[in-house]
Amino acid sequence: MERTAASYVNSLPPERVPSGLIGEGDLTDLPPVVRRYFEYSGVLGKPRIASFAFTMNGRIRQGPQAAWMPFVSRQYNLLTDPSRVFYIRGTKIPMSGVDSYLGGRGRMHIKILNLLTIADSRGPEMDRSALVTFLNDLCFCPLGYFSLPVRWRAIDERRAELSLTHAGNTVRAVLTFGADGRLLDWESEDRYADVKGKPLPDRWSTPMQEYGEVAGLRIPLRGQGLHNYDGSPFVYVELTALKHLSWNARGLPPAGEPR
């Protein structure tokens, strides 16, 4: 699966690095709550980017009663032709998988023992879900917003709606911010959960619990992912480390477990 993840990245078009630095003028027309977020994140004076990559570790489960599985992951996001490749590997169970968004198409492909496929989700619902996940990834590298045609709309003093259109799909999310500008929660109703092989509409959210500085940006270092497809939300993934964030990465980060 790791070779598959690398081949996905290698199939992408070359990066076209945008020119210029992010300045005050880029924030002028944004809602005040969004301006505070970017000022807190530390994007001013930094370059526009074509891509980013990072590693994470954490744990994941398939349902509210299922056992947790520790994992490590490596990820690459291309902004100039919206794409993502997320490679995950279990650290105790011999599992690996690739969650991708390529050419406007999403796919989740997971294997046990690198031989037996236990999940291979694709189709219109997966395309839309993968675009939502691509948009959510910008939490970890807010420079990326300035390389995409995203739209912001103020909801109130602490919330804003974010939207992105790509490959015929428009997805939206509601972001909640603290008084200092840090992002506290991210929620979208445009994603689906794969439940026993069926895509169910999902109110998906990713609350953030801890911030720190990585690569000169103030970003979340810990967080959760919640599914809510039946009115009973549950945490299905916990992220406990984000490392090795790089801009204009040109591929997956080097192998190795983040610590």
Q: State the pLDDT at residue 257.
A: 46
Domain presence at residue 124: yes
Report the domain count for the chain. 1
CA distance 141 to 29: 21
Q: b or e along 27-66 (b: 16 or more beta carbons within 10 Å of the residue's beta carbon)?
A: beebbebbbbbbebbbbeebbbbbbbbbbbbbbbeeeeee
Domain presence at residue 44: yes
Q: What CATH number is associated with residue 184? A: 2.50.20
Domain presence at residue 259: no
Domain presence at residue 254: no
Q: State the pLDDT at residue 117.
A: 87
Domain presence at residue 253: no
Instruction: Look at residues 36, 98, 88, 86 and name the one whose alpha carbon lies nearest to residue 59.
Output: 88
Q: State the pLDDT at residue 182.
A: 98
Q: State the pLDDT at residue 259.
A: 37
Which domain, by its residues, includes 171?
2-14+24-247
Residues of the chain with pLDDT under 70: 256-259
Q: State the pLDDT at residue 249.
A: 93
> What are phi and psi for residue 216, nearest 5 degrees?
80, 10
Q: State the pLDDT at residue 207.
A: 98
Domain presence at residue 256: no
Concatenated DSSP letters of 27-72: TTTS-HHHHHHHHHHT-TTPBP-SEEEEEEEEEE-SSTTSPPEEEE
Q: State the pLDDT at residue 256.
A: 57
H or E element at residue 131: helix 124-136
Domain presence at residue 69: yes
| CA quadruple 8, 19, 171, 189: dihedral sign | positive
What is the C-alpha end-to-end distance of the chain, expressed in Å? Answer: 22
Q: State the pLDDT at residue 258.
A: 40
Domain presence at residue 152: yes
Instruction: Report the SS3 class of residue 216.
Output: coil
